[in-house]
A and B are shown apart, each in its own frame.
Chain A
Amino acid sequence: MKALKIVVLAKQVPDTRNVGKDAMKADGTVNRAALPAIFNPEDLNALEQALELKDKFAGSTVQILTMGPPRAADIIRDAMFRGADGGVLLTDRKFAGADTLATSYALSRALVNIQPDIIIAGRQAIDGDTAQVGPQVAEKLGWPQVTYAEQILSLDEKEIKVKRRLDNGVETVTAPMPVVVTVNGSAPDCRPQHAKRVMKYKYARTATELQEADMDYLGTLHGDRPYLNIVEWGVTDIEADEVQLGLSGSPTKVKTIENVVFASKEAKKLTSADGDINELMKELIASHTLG
C-alpha cells in the first residue's frame, strides 16, 4: 500500500456534556461564553483511526479540515499535538450561519482542492447531533460512505473493510476506495498529546493569528519552519458558489426551541448479563445504597 493522504473532518464545539444552569441564554440560544470550546469528541475517535492508518502505512499524512471562526485553529493545533501533520481552517464571514448542507458544500469544495485518498470524520457533533455532514460530503464528492465505523480492519488501493457498530450488534462491510468513513464514539479513544509534538508545534499559527500575535520571533520561526503554518482558506480559495454558502445556502429553519425539564430521574436499561449486574452492584455499593 502506498502512502495515504488522509483528511479528518473535525469541528470545534461548545462542551455540552457538562452544562451548568447558564448554558442557555434567555432567548433559547446556546450561551457559548459559558461553555468551553472543545474538540468534538467523536472527531477525536476519527483522528485516532487516521493516526493508526498513518502508523501502518509509512509516509502517510493526516490533515485536519475544519470550518469555523479563527479560534477553531485550536483544534488543528490539538490534533497536531496528537500526531496530525497539519490542517486547513475554512474561515470567512460568508461561511457564517451555515447548516449541514452549506457546511458540507464548503467542506467538499475544500476537499476538491486537497484531493485526499480517504476522508474520516466523527459520526456527529455534540452541538447539533445531526450526523449529516459526513454523509453529505460523501454525496457531494460522489464517494461511497461507511457510517458508524468502529474499526478500520483493512485497507488497500481498491478496497476498505470496516467494522460498524449498530444498535443491536456489529457488521463488517467493504467499500471501494476512495471513501468517507464516519467514526462512532465506541471506537478507541484518541491518543494523548505527545510532549515533544506539543513543544514542536505549539507555535503553529494561521496567517491571521500570526498577524495578531505580539511575539517578534514567531514570524522568523514560521519562516524557518514551514510546518508551523496552518492553512487558512476563504471563499475565493475554494472557488465556491456564494449562494450555496452560509445563511443563504442553509434551508434549515429553527421553528421553536423548548426548554425541557426532566420530570423523572435518569433511566437506565440493564440486561441480565453478568457484566451489567456487576456494574450495577458496584454502583450501588459506591453510592452506599447497598453495603
Chain B
Amino acid sequence: MANFYLDNKDLQFHLEHPLMRKIVELKEKGFKDRAEFDYAPVDFEDAMDSYRRILEICGEVCGEVIAPNAEDVDKYGPSVVNDRVVYAEGTQKNLDAIVAAGLAGLTLPRRYGGLNMPLTLFVMTNEMIARADAGFENIWGLQDCAETLNEFASDELKDEYLPRVAAGETCAMDLTEPDAGSDLQAVMLKAHWDEARGTWLLNGVKRFITNGDAEISLVLARSEEGTRDARGLSMFVYDKKHLATKVRRIENKLGIKGSPTCELVFTDAPAELVGERKLGLIKYVMSLMNAARLGIGAQSAGLSEAAYREALKYAHERRQFGKAIIEFPAVFEILSNMKAKLHASRALLYETTRFVSIYKDYGYLGRDRKLEPEERTEMKEYTRLADAFTPLQKFFLSEYCNQMAYDAIQILGGSGYMKDYPVERLYRDARIMNIYEGTSQLQVVAAIRHVTTGTYLAKMKEYESEARYPADMGDVFKQLVAMREEYERCVEKVVSTEDGEWIDFHARRMVEMAGYIIMSHLLLQQATVCDDYRNSATVFAKFGYGKNSEAAAYIDNACCGIDPFKKVLDERVEDL
C-alpha cells in the first residue's frame, strides 16, 4: 500500500516541531471543544495523535487513489458540456475519495463540520496531494477560500457556506480578468445592487479561473461605480445554484491539465457581499493571496518530492558502462543537490507556515477575548515574519520545483523526455508554479522590503545567536556567518545608492542571498536534532555559498551600470 505520509520522514519530522505545542494550544483554545464534539482532542498529545492519523489517511488516498489516476487525468482533462465543467473521470474519483475519507473542511472550525486542523496540516496535505497530482492540488487547495469566508464574512454567510465546504463542495477565487492579471486594480467585472430583487448582481467576464465552475466562488468585483482603482473593489460570494454564469471555455494549458482553468461569463449573477464594501482587494484578496502563496509553496514541494523520487529511482536502476548511473559523480552531484534543495525549501515552507499559523490564530483568539499585551506583541512579530517569509518561500519553492523537474528529466535522459515516464508531466506541471499567485518577479517585489528594512537580517542574526548546530559542524556555521556578512555588505552597497531602479535591478540577487542563508540555518538547526539532515545541511550550505558568491561578484562588478541592460527597450520586433 503506497502511503505518501508514512514513506516521507521529512514531512513527519516537520510535524514534530517544538512550536507545534503553541500552535495546537492556540488552535484548540483550551481544548474546550471536547465538551461538544466527540472527535475533538482532550490535550496536546491527543491532538498530535489525531494529526498523525489524519495525515496517514490522506497519505493513503494520495498513494492509492490520486497518484494512480494522475496519468489519465493529464491525458483526458476536464471538458465543457452545456456551459458547465465536467471533470476528468479520475478527478471526480479523487474528489469522491477525499470526501469519503472525511478530509474536506480540514481547517474549518468544528461548529461548521470542519476538523479544526492547524495550517501546518493543511500545508502537508497540499504537499502530499501535489506529489500525487499537482493539478488536483488546486481543487483541494481552493478550500482556502472558506478560510477567507471564515475570517471576514458575516455569521449568516459562514453558516450558509462553511458546512457545505466541510461536506466536500469545491471553491474558486475569481480574480483575474483579460486586462487584470498581476495588476488586479484594473478589475472591471461589475457589481450593482438590484433594489427590486434585493441582491447584488454581477456582470462581466473573468479569465484564467482555476476550478471556475465550483459550487462556491469568491468574486472580486467593482461595486463602486465610476471608480478605477483598488478602492472601488469589493468581494462577493457566488453560489453555483443560481446558474447565472457560463463557462465559455477551458484553457488548453501546458500542464496541470486536470485543473480546469475557465473563462467565465457572469450575467446578472446574484451574489452576496463578503465583509465590507471597498475592502475587496485591499484587505480580503491580500489575505487570500498570501494563503494561496503558501499553497503554491506546498504544491511546489510536493512536485519536487515526486521529481526527486523518480530521478533517484531511475539513477539506481539504470546501468550504463557496467554500473548504475548514480555511481557517476556527474549524476550523484545532481541528486545530492536535489535532495538538499528539497530539504532546505521544505524547511522554509514549514517555518513560514508556523509563522502564518500563529499570527492567524492569535487573530481568531482576539475575537473571543482581549489579547494580553505580550500576546499582541507576539502576534505583531509573527505577522511581520509571515509577511517576510511568505514571498520568500513562494519564490524559492516554485523556482526549485522547476529546477527539480528539469534535473529529473536530465537524470532520466531520453527516457525522461518520453511520455512513458511521469517526469515529463512533472516538468510541464512545474512551469506554472513560479507564475500563478504572483510571479517570482512579484515575490521579489514583496520580499525586497524585508531586505531593505532588515527583517531577514534580524532573523539571520537571531539564528546565529541561538548557534544551534552539531558540535562537529562548526565550519559550516562559520560559513553561514561569512555569508551573512557578505550579504550585509552587498545590501549596504546597493541600497546606499538610493537609486530605486538600481535596487530593483539587484533585488532578486539580494533576496536570493537572504534565502540561501536562512535555509542553510534552518537545515543546520534540523541537523542538531536529527542526523538525517547533516548531509543536506552541508551540501546546501556549500551550494548556497557558491550562489551567494556569484551574486556578490555580480553586484561588486563595476564594469558597467544599468545602461547596457536598458538598450533592449529600444529594440522593436519590426526591426528583427
Contact = CB atoms under 8 A, between A and B. Distances in A.
Contact of B53 (A191, A198, A217, A286): A198
Contact of B103 (A195, A200, A225, A285): A195
Contact of A202 (B53, B60, B97): B53
Interface string A200-244: 101000000000000001000100010000000000000000000
B101 A195 contact: yes
Contact of A225 (B38, B50, B60): B38
Interface in B49-63: 49-50, 53-54, 57, 60-61
Contacts of A94: none
B38 A200 contact: yes
Contacts of B38: 200, 225
A31 interface: no
A80 to B, nearest CB: 12
Contacts of A198: 50, 53-54, 57
Contacts of B49: 202
Nearest to A18: B1
Contacts of A194: 100-102
Interface residues of B, number: 19
Name the residue in B39, B42, B60, B103 with the highest tally of chain A Cβ atoms < 10 Å from its Cβ.
B39
B130 interface: no
A125 to B, nearest CB: 19
B100 A191 contact: yes
Interface string B7-46: 0000000000000000000000000000000111110000
Interface in B94-116: 97, 100-103, 115
A197 B102 contact: yes
Interface in B387-422: 420
B420 A202 contact: no
Nearest to A291: B420
B15 to A, nearest CB: 16
A192 B40 CA distance: 20
Contact of B60 (A191, A192, A196, A286): A192
A285 B415 CA distance: 12
Given A194-B101, A225-B38, A199 B420 contact: no
Contacts of B57: 192-193, 195, 198
Nearest to A286: B420
Closest 6 CB pairs of A and B: A195-B102, A199-B39, A194-B102, A192-B101, A200-B39, A196-B39
A48 to B, nearest CB: 11
Contacts, number: 46
Contacts of A288: 420
Interface string B310-325: 0000000000000000
Q: Which residue, B50, B97, B101, has most C-beta atoms of chain A within 10 A?
A: B101
Contacts of A199: 39-41, 50, 53-54, 115
Nearest to B97: A192
Interface of B: 38-42, 49-50, 53-54, 57, 60-61, 97, 100-103, 115, 420
Interface in A246-291: 285-286, 288, 291
A217 B49 CA distance: 15
B122 to A, nearest CB: 13
Contacts of A286: 420
Given A195-B101, A199-B50, A202-B53, 9 more contacts: A192-B97, A193-B101, A194-B100, A194-B101, A198-B53, A198-B57, A199-B115, A200-B38, A288-B420
Contacts of B103: 195
B410 to A, nearest CB: 20
B420 A285 contact: yes
27 contacts: A192-B60, A192-B61, A193-B57, A193-B101, A194-B100, A194-B101, A194-B102, A195-B57, A195-B101, A195-B103, A195-B115, A196-B102, A197-B39, A198-B54, A198-B57, A199-B39, A199-B41, A199-B50, A200-B38, A202-B49, A202-B50, A202-B53, A217-B42, A221-B42, A225-B38, A286-B420, A288-B420
Contacts of A196: 39, 102, 115
Nearest to A191: B100
A251 B101 CA distance: 44
Contacts of B42: 217, 221
Contacts of A291: 420
B419 to A, nearest CB: 10
A230 B420 CA distance: 49
Contacts of B100: 191-192, 194
Contacts of B50: 198-199, 202
A191 B99 CA distance: 10
A198 B42 CA distance: 15
B54 A195 contact: yes
Nearest to A288: B420
Nearest to B100: A191
A17 B118 CA distance: 37
A20 B60 CA distance: 22
Nearest to A225: B38
B444 to A, nearest CB: 38
A225 B37 CA distance: 12
Nearest to B47: A199
